[in-house]
Amino acid sequence: MKSTLYITAKVLPGNRIEIQSPSLSVGETVEVVILVPEPTPDSVEDRYLSLEQRQDFLKLPMAERRGILESQAETMLAHYQQDSDWKELMSGDIIDY
């Protein structure tokens, strides 16, 4: 019967992955399965534009930039209208004694 060891690892420079476990023995043969999660819209990489992407945005005509920003503002408006948690934070005093 195979035992399972679940470890989360970061990809290191050179696209390497290092796995360490006290339950593994030197010279032991193991099977490795790598599951790569699909990026989510909330991932850090998706939240920030690269310098090149920002420069490309600034090269667009003003009308096109306004259209993009308007679309993003509408998306955020819908988000904040659906998520009411922020309203509770804004309802109290800033300083409670």
Instruction: For residue 86, give Cα distances in angstroms to 7, 75, 90, 92, 96.
Output: 35, 16, 6, 11, 18
Q: What pLDDT, on a 0 to 100 scale, did the predictor assign at position 97? A: 58
CB 24 within 8 A of CB 30: yes
* C-alpha closest to that of 50 among 60, 62, 61, 58: 58
Residue 87 or 28, more confident: 28
Residue 5 or 28, more confident: 28
In this prediction the pTM is: 0.41
Residue count of the chain: 97
pLDDT in tens, 49-97: 788 888 888 988 898 889 889 988 988 888 878 877 766 666 666 665 5
Taking the domains of the chain in order of start, what are their residue ranges? 44-91
Q: What pLDDT, on a 0 to 100 scale, did the predictor assign at position 90? A: 65
Q: What pLDDT, on a 0 to 100 scale, did the predictor assign at position 27? A: 92
Q: Phi/psi zone of residue 43: left (φ > 0), alpha (ψ -120 to 50 degrees), beta?
A: beta
